[in-house]
Amino acid sequence: MNRNPQLNAHGELQHLITLEGLSREILQGILDTAEPFAEVAEREVKKVPLLRGKSVFNLFFENSTRTRTTFEIAAKRLSADVINLNINTSSASKGESLLDTVDNLAAMQADMFVVRHASSGAPYLIAQHLAATGREHIHVVNAGDGRHAHPTQGLLDMYTIRHYKKDFTRLTVAVVGDVLHSRVARSQIHALRTLGVPEIRVIAPRTLLPSGVADMGVRVFQDMKEGLKGVDVVMMLRLQNERMQGALLPSPQEYFKYYGLTPDKLRLAKPDAIVMHPGPMNRGIEIDSAVADGSHSVILPQVTFGIAVRMAVMSMLAGS
Amino acid sequence: MPTLPDATALCAQLAAAMRPSITPQTALVGIHTGGAWIAERLHRELAIQQPLGSIDVAFYRDDYNQRGLHKGAKASNIPFDVEGAHIVIVDDVLYTGRTIRAALNELFDYGRPARVDLAVLVDRGGRELPVAATWCPQTLALPASQTLVLERDGETLSFRITEK
């Protein structure tokens, strides 16, 4: 049997590690499920009892206050008990200590691990380890691993696009910026393809494009003005300074000149185009404040939708 | 095979039974989906002044740990202030009482109503919780192997019995 390791024997999502290989039905199912969760946030009591008595462990081996907070809020609005662990890794024996950590927390009756890790594949390793040791009832959510994937970010981006644009099958979507280091970009491109977006463009300088990006079914542009022409959605990426090794960029100022999203460049997109950014933003490097705070920006709604999407994912996993 | 209840006639009977208790403060909340259809009709026929509410109890069901999240959950919509309101929960069929338990729990997360009543078209027996309808024009004993389903075709409501 060659089934997707994220799915259980009934074809239900058991872990969420990557959007790659998940069907359109599953992705749409998550987006559909997120809709009623968005309503919960409008209530007097912003909480539903689905995960009451469940323990969700946020295992953050890499710092990310925002992502951790949104997962924490999502789990708490599902009535789960949330335990946050910020574990800074440095040593070479990561693999061993990672699984030791997991074993210890599993012994504390964990029901779900939300994992952020600098190494690609860490959440998958944990899921495999749990399966190999007969603890597949513990669910794993990838909250970002290395350059690999950030599936809940990809999903909340899809939720945002669907909210404003309704139909994926008529859209031109541009992903702009540091694709090379971006797990977000990979998750976005997989999801956009699966959901039937006919034209996906990637706009970046050659030095920030991963090799083989064209094989992902995208059109590559190095000229941002050319690439933004007529697009419905502009998905900006954060310039990941902390991941830069060597001289990939001349200077932040020069990057802004060629690849920063300014009102002038945005005028080339469709008049009703939306601008997205996963945060945290580098204002004046990849995005001009006038755009970030402008009328096309849906950056703050993305944050709000992100909680509903994470509630949907957690409740689907925990109920599988 | 018992005779199928006539949904249209039962709706009219239910409206007539409820009419004396309706005040300007009365609000209806239909349980998704069959109850919401009936609530829509009652709202019109009884000229209810409060906006119509609907509720999907998927997030409050007690079988989540056995059966997972109910697929196709819809957002609940409570467009009036629950605090101090007179609320009538409307559903198509009253059976185990578990859906009503979930709906009550959900409602109370919006506020504290002054009074809650329950209006259903059919009581099919088989209660597993101490729940009773305030208004119910028909009772019908059905074996556990059968499900009584309300369907809507345009404006017409009708019941169908399916075998599990």
Domain identity same for A168 and A290? yes
Residues A95 and A211 in one domain: no
Size of interface A-B (CB pairs under 8 A): 51
Per-residue DSSP letter, A13: B
Q: What is the mean pLDDT of chain B?
A: 95
Are A231 and A118 within one domain? no
Q: What is the pLDDT of residue A92?
A: 43
* Residue A280 counted as an annotated binding residue: yes
Q: Is residue A1 in a domain?
A: no
Neighbours of B22 (CB within 10 A): 17
Portion of chain B with pLDDT greater than 90, in percent? 92
- Tell whether A170 and A290 lie within a shared domain: yes
Q: Which residues contact A205 (CB under 8 A, 6 or more apart)?
A: A222, A249, A255, A258, A259
**Are both A170 and A247 inside the same structural domain?**
yes
Q: Are residues A157 and A258 in the same domain?
A: yes
> Smallest Cβ distance to B110: which of A12, A43, A315?
A43
B73 touches chain A (CB under 8 A): yes
Candidates A35, A49, A319; nearest CB to B69: A319
CB atoms A319 and B72 under 8 Å = no
Q: With contact defined as beta carbons under 8 Å apart, do A122 and A95 qualify? A: no
Q: Is the pLDDT of residue A190 over 80?
A: yes
Q: B83: closest CA among B50, B40, B36, B46?
A: B50
pLDDT tens digits, residue range B72-111?
Answer: 899 999 999 999 999 999 999 999 999 999 999 999 999 9
pLDDT number for residue A2 = 55
* Calpha distance A151→A149 (Å, rounded): 6
Enclosing H/E stretch for B160: strand B156-163
**Which domains occur in chain B, in start order?**
7-65+74-163 (3.40.50.2020)
> Residue B116 above 60 pLDDT?
yes
Instruction: Return the pLDDT at B85.
Output: 96
Among the listed residues B57, B103, B70, the one whose alpha carbon sits nearest the alpha carbon of residue A312 = B70
pLDDT at A1: 44
What band does A305 get if pLDDT is binned at 50, 70 and 90? very high
Quote the pLDDT of residue A245.
61
A42 touches chain B (CB under 8 A): no
The answer to whether residue A40 neighbours chain B at the CB level (below 8 Å) is yes
Domain that holds residue A183: 151-299
Residue A150 assigned ligand-binding role: yes
Count of CB atoms within 10 A of residue A253's CB?
11
Q: Is the pLDDT of residue A90 over 80?
A: no
With a cut of 70, say whether residue A243 has pLDDT above it: no
**Residues A210, A189: contact at Cβ < 8 Å?**
no
What is the DSSP track for A191-259? HHHHTT-SEEEEE--GGGSPTTGGGGS-EEES-HHHHHTT-SEEEE----GGG--S-S-S-HHHHHHHH
Residue of chain B nearest A49, judged by CA positions: B60
Q: Identify whether residues A134 and A179 lie together within a single domain.
A: no
How many distinct structural domains can be found in chain A?
A: 2
3-state secondary structure of A53: coil
Does one domain contain both A182 and A239? yes
Interface contact flag, A36 B75, Cβ < 8 Å:
yes
CB contact under 8 A, B75 and A43: no
* Cα separation, B120 vs B15, whole angstroms: 11
- On the question of pLDDT at A146 being above 60, the answer is yes
Within this chain, do residues A41 and A84 fall inside the same structural domain, yes or no?
yes
Query: Which band of pLDDT confidence, cut at 50, 70 and 90, is reported for residue A252?
Result: confident
Considering the domain architecture, whether residues A66 and A126 belong to the same structural domain is answered as: yes
pLDDT-above-70 percentage for chain B = 99
Q: What is the mean pLDDT of residues A185-205?
A: 96
> Searching chain A, which residue's CA lies closest to the CA of residue B56?
A36
d(CA A102, CA A93): 14
CATH of the domain at A244: 3.40.50.1370
Answer yes or no: do A76 and A97 share one domain: yes
Q: Chain A closest CA to B61's CA: distance in Å?
A: 8
A167 lies in some domain:
yes
Average pLDDT over residues A186-210: 95
Q: Taking CB atoms and an 8 Å limit, are A49 and B74 in contact across chains?
A: no
One-character DSSP codes across A246-278: S-S-S-HHHHHHHHSB-HHHHTTS-TT-EEE--
Residues in chain A within 8 Å Cβ distance of B55: none
Rg of chain A on CA atoms, in Å: 19
Q: Is residue A5 situated within a structural domain?
A: no
B79 neighbourhood in chain A, CB within 8 Å:
none
**pLDDT range class, residue A91, cuts 50, 70, 90:** very low
Structural tokens at position B84: 């101090």
Strands A199-203 and A81-86: unpaired
For residue A6, tell me if it sits in a domain: no
Residues A85 and A178 in one domain: no
Residues of A in contact with B59 (CB under 8 A): 36-37, 40, 48-50, 315
Residue A283 DSSP class: B
Q: Dihedrals φ, ψ of B146, to 5°?
A: -110, 150
Q: For the segment A105-133, what is each residue's pLDDT rounded down to a tens digit?
A: 999 999 999 999 999 999 999 999 999 99
Q: Is the pLDDT of residue A63 over 90?
A: no
Interface of B with A in 12-31 (CB under 8 A): none
Structure tokens at B107: 């409602």
